[in-house]
Structure 1
């Protein structure tokens, strides 16, 4: 592997979405050919230090891309984690890279704003029950991809709905439809579900407590994690 390029790719992650960004960095290195088929990835201790993540987070990320067919583990004296000799076929190009970034940017603006606006409102008891029910609903799904996407969408729409802005709710619904087309093209990762559910709780708690700044920040971090996975799997 080219040391200069490798150092640039395996730099410390910058967000609180450590798992998602680690997956993105690993897939980027493989997709760009910096870590070519058959190459051994740096040792776990070294790679975790380079990325600035815990070894547990790194293991979760490696397990996720191994399940997706990008790397394999070998035991023994010359063992380690190796890039698969035969990589998965690229996901069908749903949209050009520029269009994907357009969707992600629009989603970030709309949904972080929706969370902030929801928290700034004096929510009715019905609003509060609606949010709480949607949160419990999505938290009860394990790894059924279609069902999780559906309930996840319902929570995000519920947040938009309690802003009491029909126009914003319609806009969020439209962009969510486009985002789901992208999400359906990548695997559902168990570690990401766990992390997303924790972030969902933080978002709803901030909204219910009326902390608009915290709600915007929590939603922004949540969306950044999803964007990292989409870029990692869908963009070269």
Structure 2
């Protein structure tokens, strides 16, 4: 017999309804960062639920980074400003359970960084160019001394480029994806025999990108970014995932 196919009905627990309503209030601006929720007692009355149900809802909201609840605080939980921590946690979990492969993460980083470079080349300020210059100089000084210091300077360079894109979502996403990718391969880089050579090559790539950004050549800055990412990460990515990275190099 024809007709639509229906899915089984899912029983929604009371605390999930509380979470949904508070999330909606935050999303619509009815609740803003710094505001406090009603006390536990008031929430119990408003939602007509037990204290344990309210506390479970607050636990979920806190885990998602939406509110901060302090033990013993007589006031209600405080609504938190947006933080990339929740996005970082979600993507890290996806990577760990193999829902996101290293190849997919690297490919996404290639897309994000290329876009950031393209926009930065057109929108950067002289102060942001100076930040990029300073970051590369720090990379040069650290290359012979400390990989950790080199990595911190590398991050500072990419952060400056992302800020110059003037897109908050690009800025947040590039930082999150970069952190996850580097954590996944940190051990391999640390044990590399030619780590100093890798750092020197990375500095040259960054210098080329900065020259393109300074010249206002967005397409070149984007292409150099994709090529740099490919060269740096391709040997760490499984062979069957490399064609997806190479596809981003084709004009």
How many matched pairs? 141
Residues 87-109 of structure 1: CA deviation (Å, up to 9, x unaligned): xxxxxx96749521121111011
- Residue 45 of structure 1 corresponds to none
Correspondence list, 1:1-236, <5 A: 96=98, 99-121=101-123, 123-143=124-144, 144-188=146-190, 189-231=195-237
Distance 2:201 2:184 in 1: 19
- C-alpha change, 1:151 and 1:232, in structure 2 (3 Å) is farther
> What is the root-mean-square deviation in Å for CA atoms of aligned residues?
2.3
Distance 2:120 2:97 in 1: 31
Distance 2:147 2:133 in 1: 22
Normalising by structure 1, we get a TM-score of 0.54
Distance 1:160 1:178 in 2: 17
Normalising by structure 2, we get a TM-score of 0.51
Q: By how many angstroms is 1:205 displaced? A: 0.7
Residues 61-88 of structure 1: CA deviation (Å, up to 9, x unaligned): xxxxxxxxxxxxxxxxxxxxxxxxxxxx
Contact 1:182–1:230 (CA<8 Å) still a contact in 2? no
Contact 1:135–1:204 (CA<8 Å) still a contact in 2? no
- Residue 33 of structure 1 corresponds to none
Largest Rg, 1 or 2? 2
Q: Which has the higher contact order (CA 8 A, sep 6+)?
A: 1
Distance 1:108 1:153 in 2: 15
- Report the more deviating stretch, 188-197 or 208-217: 188-197
Q: By how many angstroms is 1:127 displaced? A: 1.6
Runs of 5+ consecutive residues of structure 2 not aligned to the other structure? 1-94, 242-251
SS at match of 1:169: helix
Distance 1:95 1:141 in 2: 35
- C-alpha change, 1:95 and 1:215, in structure 2 (3 Å) is farther
Runs of 5+ consecutive residues of structure 1 not aligned to the other structure? 1-92
SS at match of 1:140: helix
Distance 2:115 2:150 in 1: 23
Q: By how many angstroms is 1:231 displaced? A: 2.1
Q: Which has the higher helix share?
A: 2
